[in-house]
Amino acid sequence: MVREFELPDVGEGVAEGELLRWRVAPGDSVSEDQPVAEVETDKAVVDVPSPVDGVVEELRAAEGEIVPVGDVIIVFRIDGEDEPDGTETPPADDATADSGQQTDDEATTQQAEDTQSEPAVTQRVQVAAPPSVRRLARELGVDISSIADSSLGRITESDVRAHADANPPTQDHSNQQTTAAERQKQQATSMQSVSSVQARETADRETTVAVPKTRHVAAEEGIDLDTVPTDERKDGEPFVTLETVQEYAQAQQQAQKKDQEAVAERAAADEPARPESRTPYNGIRQTIGSAMTASKYTAPHVTHQDEVDVTALVDARSTLRQEAEEHDIRLTYMPFVMKACAAALQENPHVNVSLDEANEEIVEKQYYNIGVATATDAGLLVPVVEDVDTKGLLEVASETNEKTQRARERRLSPEEMRGGTFTISNIGGIGGEYGTPIINQPESAILALGEIKKKPRVVEADGEETIEPRHVMTLSLSFDHRVLDGADAARFTNSVQKYLRNPNLLLLE
C-alpha cells in the first residue's frame, strides 16, 4: 500500500518550512518515528519523523525548497499491505439508506457525477514534482500525470509551461471558471487597454451616477469617477459599480508598477556590473526580522545607560573559576549578571511584567526566567534559563553553557526559547560598549552588557581620595515606555549595579 505523508504543522501556527536535509533516500527501509528529514521553521530546526514502518517510495520535495504545511513531501510503501482491489462494496450513504435501493438510471447518473467530481484513488499516477510545480500545474489547468519526466527524473516548471503552451485548455461553456493564470492575463490585457477604453467611453461624460460607498472608495484610490469606463446606465446617466471602480484601480496600479519596473530595469542596465551575492531572506533570519520589526513599532523603546565598577566581580570570578573547572563548568561573567538581574527583578517586580493588549492588563510575573541572546550562523537566538532565582551560580552557569552551545549548533527546541521574563544581551563579547537593544516581546525590558574595560576612577579609602585603574562595565537597559517610566528603569539598573559591585551579596540570594 502506498502512503503519502504531508509536511505536518511542526510549530504553533507555522505555514511553511524549508526542507534542509533528507535523512533517507528512495528504497530505504524506515521504522515509525525514525527521523526522515530536517525542516527549518520559525526559530528552530526540527526533525520530521516517519509515521509508519515501510520503504521510501518517493521524495516529493528537494533540499532547500520551501514547502507549505500540508503538501506531500514523501511517499512510503507499507510492507505487508495490498493495494485496494476495488471489489469492496461501498457503504450506502444516508440518502440511499432512507429511500431504499437506487434505480439503474439513478445509479448510472450518480456514477457519472462521481466520476466527473473526483477521480478514483486507484487511477492516480504517481509523479515526481515539487509542490511549487504542482501548484503551477493546477493554476494552468495541466494534468501533471500526463507530462513525461524530464531528464532529471522530476517534472519541472518549464515542463509544465511547455505542456500548457502545447495543449491550451478548451473553453467549457457549461462551466465558466477561469484559472488564476488566465485571470492575471485578462487583467494585464485590461490594463493595457485602459487608456483607449477611457478615451472612447468617457470623452463626453460630465456626470456619473454611483452609490456613496463607491464614491468613497474612488476618493480613497484617487480615481475620478467620470474616467471609469462603463456601459451601465441608471436613470439615463452612466452608472459605475463598486466592483468596476476596484477593477479599474487595480489595473491602474498594475500599469504603474510595470512602468516603475521598466524604469528600474533601464536604470540597472545603465549601471556597471559589480560583484555581489544574494542569499534568500527566509527561515530563522526572516522570523527574527519580523519579530524585531513588530517589537520596535509596537513598544515605544527608551534606553537607560549607565556604568558600574565591577573590580570586585572580576576578582570573584577569578577566584571561583578554578573551582568551577574542577566541576567541568566554564564560568563566565554571564551567570553573575543573570543572578544579579533575578535579584533586581525581585526588588523591582514592576519590571518583570508583560502587557496583555487584548485584555488591557499588565501581567506581573512571579517567576524569573532569564533569556540569553546568543549569536548563531542563522541569527540571534534566545535560550531561556528558568527559575534563575532558585538555582546556584554553578548550576546557572552549567545550564547557560549547555543551552547557548545547542543554540549555536541549531539543536535548540522551540520550547527552550519560550517563557522568558527578561533578556540579557552581551554586546561586550565582541568589543561593544553601549547599545540600544530591541525588547524581546512580550517582555518589557532587555539589558545589554558592554565590554569590561579598565578606566581611571576616583576611589575613597580611609577618608582619602585617589585615582586608580578600575574594571568598569557599561549597562544599556531598553524598556517599554508604555508600562515602565524612566525612574523605574533607573531604580532597576541601580539594583543590578549593587549586586555587580559587591557579588558577595549574591550569596544571600
Catalytic residues: 481
Distance CA 335, CA 503 (A): 11
Joined together, the cell numbers standing for residue 507 give 550569596
DSSP β-bridge partners for residue 72: 6
356-365 pLDDT, tens per residue? 999 999 999 9
Q: Are residues 252 and 303 in the same domain?
A: no
- Tell me the per-residue pLDDT of 362-421, one tens digit each, with 9 for 90 and over: 999 999 999 999 998 878 899 999 999 999 999 999 999 999 999 999 888 889 999 999
509 — pLDDT class (breaks 50, 70, 90): low
pLDDT digits (tens, 9 = 90+) for 268-303: 676 677 888 888 888 778 888 888 888 988 999 999
Copy the grid coordinates of residue 89.
462494496
Contact 404, 383 (CB under 8 A): yes
Strands 464-480 and 301-309: antiparallel
pLDDT (0 to 100) of residue 64: 84
Residue 112, domain member (yes or no):
yes
Q: Is the dihedral of CA 169, 173, 178, 182 positive or negative?
A: positive
Rounded-to-integer distance, Cα 9 and Cα 424, Å: 31
Query: Phi-psi bin for 64: left (phi > 0), alpha (psi -120 to 50), beta?
Result: left
Count of Cβ atoms closer than 10 Å to residue 39 Cβ: 25
Task: Kindly report, residue by residue over 449-505, the tens digit of the pLDDT.
Answer: 999 999 999 998 888 999 999 999 999 999 999 999 999 999 999 999 999 999 999
**Domain contains 279:** no
- Considering the domain boundaries, does residue 379 fall inside one? yes
Range of the domain at 365: 284-508
* CB contact at 8 A, 128 and 154: yes
Q: Hey, what's the cell of 384?
A: 531561556
* Predicted local distance difference test score (pLDDT) of residue 13: 59
Q: Do 265 and 362 lie in a common domain?
A: no
The answer to whether residues 446 and 438 touch, using CB atoms and an 8 Å cutoff, is yes
Q: Which residue has the higher pLDDT, 264 or 343?
A: 343
Whether residue 495 contacts residue 469, with contact meaning beta carbons closer than 8 Å, is answered with no
- Pull the grid cell for residue 418: 519560550
pTM, 2 dp: 0.55
Domain CATH code at residue 105: 2.40.50.100
Please give the grid coordinates belonging to residue 132.
511549487
In a domain, 201, yes or no: yes
- For the cut 90, the answer to whether the pLDDT of residue 66 exceeds it is no
In the chain, how many domains are there? Answer: 3
pLDDT given for residue 489 in this prediction: 96
3-state class of 346 per DSSP? helix
Asked if residues 312 and 506 have their Cβ atoms less than 8 Å apart, the reply is no
pLDDT tens-place string over residues 295-329: 988 999 999 999 999 999 999 999 999 999 999 99
> What CA–CA distance (Å, rounded) separates 350 from 346?
9
- CATH number, domain of 473, equals 3.30.559.10
The pLDDT value given to residue 69 = 85
Residue 344 belongs to some domain of the structure: yes
User: Is the domain of 293 the same as that of 262?
Assistant: no
Question: What pLDDT score was predicted for residue 12?
Answer: 56
**Three cell numbers, residue 478:** 531598553
pLDDT above 90: percentage of residues in the chain: 43
**How crowded is the C-beta side of 170, counted as CA atoms within 13 Å?**
3
Closest C-alpha to 443, from 359, 345, 343, 339: 345
Q: Do the domain assignments include residue 159?
A: no
In this prediction, residue 301 carries a pLDDT of 95
Q: How many CB atoms lie within 10 A of CB 25?
A: 8
Highest mean pLDDT among 224-228, 266-270, 443-447: 443-447
Span 251-267, average pLDDT: 81
Residue among 191, 198, 260, 203 nearest 228 (CA): 198
3-class SS at 60? Answer: coil
Same domain, 412 and 468: yes
Distance (Å, rounded) from C-alpha 96 to C-alpha 110?
Answer: 11
What CA–CA distances, in Å, run from 442 to 65, 416, 438, 477? 31, 16, 12, 16
Q: Is residue 68 part of a domain?
A: yes
pLDDT, position 324: 94
